[in-house]
A and B are shown apart, each in its own frame.
Chain A
């Protein structure tokens, strides 16, 4: 059939299995929105308040569902507003396809109204990008974008389509099914055998895993592998939710604000088996002092991650699920009684330190951040989606919230984009169709709270928990420790009433400043059909602990601030 370019994009999106897109219209995508409008029985556009919110929503949709998220924006400012969202997806390896309109080909390069070279701008934050100038290549380019986004290590792909290409007509033949991801590379037999030999020599093996386990659907294989090795495990921020938080072998997140036990256990190990991680500076601290005492076996689907930040003794490039399954098959059952009793002692020590560390808030008779998180987790469904923004609340949630199923913890790990939460929570809710909890701070929430409008329109069952301390707490914590308590530009002290803000947007909200009001607010929030804001007062001076100072190592771990 003969279709316009705009219709071809819409049909190709549908053909690729996309039923929900997040987008914001504008001059150069009016054709595309018109085509979507005429197909609204098969594909639905979720209109956000801002393109950034749309990009985060597509990202959240993809993280929650494991499928490709799609975002649409117009040329110029529409396209540039996507960049933070695309970068967040890029840093966390999330499959997203962004479609942008552009000025007609004849106007390109003339600084026309709302013209931006978005292919140039987005090049460093996309896995790949395209500008389509020939209508005959449009359908296949969109298909290729999906293929690239979901193949290997996933990531965002941008397709820029000038307006005249959306208007032009061309023959279109729908594909029978969505494009398949490229087959994942299998690890070589002899490298796996080397790894097995090395594992059998290890006295104190430790498994450090990241988001690759979730992206690679390898949770079950990871647990079987850990049993076979009789080894403890910890994870990066992105690895959270890959295994249940209360799994007896799991010591929690490690790194800058990781658990004491996992961070120390890794340092005491003689062999670290790193799975689907990229050894970010936030996870390792000073790279040169990181792997002093242990050897590293690093397995990842992306060859460029191997030996990038940390030199490994053995690198294996391949699909994690396949590698773990084959590795488990060739390693005989290991037994590390002494090592595991040391791990148990570390757990006890962590509990002792936690109990001994005084909380400013509990001393002041205030609700503590952990009490708030616990109250929410008691009320939430077991498989509720937990989304965070960025800052202290993010680390507290990562440390504390009991997660049970993969893809239930959504956070901007690599980019650390404040303002990620609202869009991502909306996207996650629409992907999963179940109640979603957003932990945010007054700083992060202030960045994109306009998406409350979207949440209300979409009847999104969001429980938005604001840990409101009136400051930009994470930066303030650094200022307290490293800048002589000079709190430059981090004291918000705003008069914003978030309950009234929620009401103004058509949502509901309650304030919580003690156990009783918290219980009432949580109860109300979880019996509500639309978005609900719980504004919780917390202290501006409560630090996130433990803390490895930036560029520090395990020797510098801070577990108490006087």
Chain B
């Protein structure tokens, strides 16, 4: 059955590692919905979060192919019910006298923040799960989105389990 999977990938923090990981997806014809990469608490490792759609067979092939890459230290499929998943949105919307109050109300209800205010535009910042961000964007379309960008998801397992500890075991 096709569904979205989120995997955490611990990689060596060296030049070219992102090419190797993303190249594996391209080369073998797997689609990436979203990929983020950032530093970890240890300077030797970076952490990549990849979301993709597929069935179990595709998930298994992606995991085993990633595990073969020399710079990949650990791969884990994250159980979405046991995982905190967050994404950050920055959205610039037109600031007019007619729409301002509605925008402010939406910002409040979504627990978003206005991080820049000018006569012509507002910038809203929002973090949350992707569905919440989608809903906020949908609403903002009514007020004239000027530009926006979202970071893609980062994800971390609840409880004491860590990718890092898996690697050290």
Chain A contacts to B: CB under 8 angstroms:
119-120, 123-124, 127-128, 148, 302-304, 306-308, 311
Stretch at the interface among B15-23, B79-87, B123-131, B137-145: B15-23
> Of B19, B27, B71, which contacts A120 at CB under 8 A?
B19
Residues of B within 8 A of A306 (CB): 64
Closest beta carbon of chain A to B69's beta carbon, Å: 8
Residues of B within 8 A of A303 (CB): 64, 67-68
B116 within 8 A of A: no
A128 pairs with B70, CB closer than 8 A = yes
Cα–Cα distance between A148 and B71 once the two chains are bound (Å):
12
Residues of A within 8 A of B65 (CB): 304
Knowing that A302-B68, A307-B60 are A-B contacts, what are 11 other residue pairs whose CB atoms are under 8 Å apart, sorted by A's residue number? A119-B16, A123-B16, A123-B20, A127-B70, A128-B69, A128-B71, A148-B70, A303-B68, A308-B61, A308-B64, A311-B57
A307 pairs with B57, CB closer than 8 A = yes
Residues of A within 8 A of B60 (CB): 307
A304 pairs with B57, CB closer than 8 A = no
B67 pairs with A124, CB closer than 8 A = no
Residues of A within 8 A of B61 (CB): 304, 307-308
Residues of A within 8 A of B23 (CB): 123-124
Cα–Cα distance between A304 and B68 once the two chains are bound (Å):
7
Cα–Cα distance between A128 and B11 once the two chains are bound (Å):
14
**What are 17 inter-chain pairs, A to B, with CB distance below 8 A?**
A119-B16, A120-B19, A123-B16, A123-B19, A123-B23, A124-B27, A127-B70, A128-B69, A128-B71, A303-B64, A303-B67, A304-B68, A306-B64, A307-B61, A308-B61, A308-B64, A311-B57
Closest beta carbon of chain A to B13's beta carbon, Å: 15
Q: Which residue of A lies closest to B27 (CB)?
A: A124
Interface positions of B from 24 to 68, Cβ below 8 Å from A: 27, 57, 60-61, 64-65, 67-68
Chain B contacts to A: CB under 8 angstroms:
16, 19-20, 23, 27, 57, 60-61, 64-65, 67-71
- Which 9 interchain pairs have the tightest Cβ spacing? A304-B64, A128-B70, A303-B64, A304-B65, A124-B27, A304-B68, A123-B23, A307-B60, A308-B61
Cα–Cα distance between A302 and B20 once the two chains are bound (Å):
18
Interface centre among B20, B57, B64 (most CB of A within 10 A): B64
B67 pairs with A304, CB closer than 8 A = yes
Residues of B within 8 A of A304 (CB): 61, 64-65, 67-68
Residues of B within 8 A of A311 (CB): 57
Cα–Cα distance between A124 and B27 once the two chains are bound (Å):
7
Closest beta carbon of chain A to B101's beta carbon, Å: 52
Closest beta carbon of chain B to A291's beta carbon, Å: 14
Residues of B within 8 A of A302 (CB): 68
Cα–Cα distance between A304 and B63 once the two chains are bound (Å):
8
Q: Which residue of A lies closest to B15 (CB)?
A: A131
Cα–Cα distance between A148 and B23 once the two chains are bound (Å):
20
Q: Which residue of A lies closest to B66 (CB)?
A: A304
Q: Which residue of A lies closest to B70 (CB)?
A: A128
Q: Which residue of A lies closest to B64 (CB)?
A: A304
Cα–Cα distance between A120 and B23 once the two chains are bound (Å):
10
Cα–Cα distance between A320 and B23 once the two chains are bound (Å):
30
Residues of A within 8 A of B20 (CB): 123
Cα–Cα distance between A128 and B24 once the two chains are bound (Å):
12
Residues of A within 8 A of B67 (CB): 303-304
Q: Which residue of B lies closest to A119 (CB)?
A: B16
Cα–Cα distance between A307 and B69 once the two chains are bound (Å):
18
Q: Which residue of B lies closest to A302 (CB)?
A: B68
Residues of B within 8 A of A148 (CB): 70
Q: Which residue of B lies closest to A155 (CB)?
A: B68
Residues of A within 8 A of B19 (CB): 120, 123
Cα–Cα distance between A124 and B57 once the two chains are bound (Å):
22
Cα–Cα distance between A548 and B69 once the two chains are bound (Å):
35
Residues of B within 8 A of A119 (CB): 16
Closest beta carbon of chain B to A136's beta carbon, Å: 15
Residues of A within 8 A of B68 (CB): 302-304
Interface centre among B61, B67, B68, B69 (most CB of A within 10 A): B68
Q: Which residue of A lies closest to B60 (CB)?
A: A307
Cα–Cα distance between A311 and B58 once the two chains are bound (Å):
12
Closest beta carbon of chain B to A550's beta carbon, Å: 19
Cα–Cα distance between A307 and B27 once the two chains are bound (Å):
18
Closest beta carbon of chain B to A187's beta carbon, Å: 16
Closest beta carbon of chain B to A147's beta carbon, Å: 10
Cα–Cα distance between A128 and B23 once the two chains are bound (Å):
13
Cα–Cα distance between A307 and B68 once the two chains are bound (Å):
15
Cα–Cα distance between A128 and B20 once the two chains are bound (Å):
9
Q: Which residue of B lies closest to A303 (CB)?
A: B64
Cα–Cα distance between A119 and B17 once the two chains are bound (Å):
12
Cα–Cα distance between A123 and B23 once the two chains are bound (Å):
8
Residues of A within 8 A of B70 (CB): 127-128, 148
Closest beta carbon of chain B to A389's beta carbon, Å: 27
Residues of B within 8 A of A123 (CB): 16, 19-20, 23
Q: Which residue of A lies closest to B26 (CB)?
A: A124
Cα–Cα distance between A148 and B60 once the two chains are bound (Å):
23
Residues of B within 8 A of A128 (CB): 69-71
Cα–Cα distance between A303 and B70 once the two chains are bound (Å):
14
Cα–Cα distance between A119 and B60 once the two chains are bound (Å):
27
Cα–Cα distance between A91 and B23 once the two chains are bound (Å):
17
Closest beta carbon of chain B to A118's beta carbon, Å: 12
Residues of B within 8 A of A127 (CB): 70
Interface centre among B60, B69, B70 (most CB of A within 10 A): B70
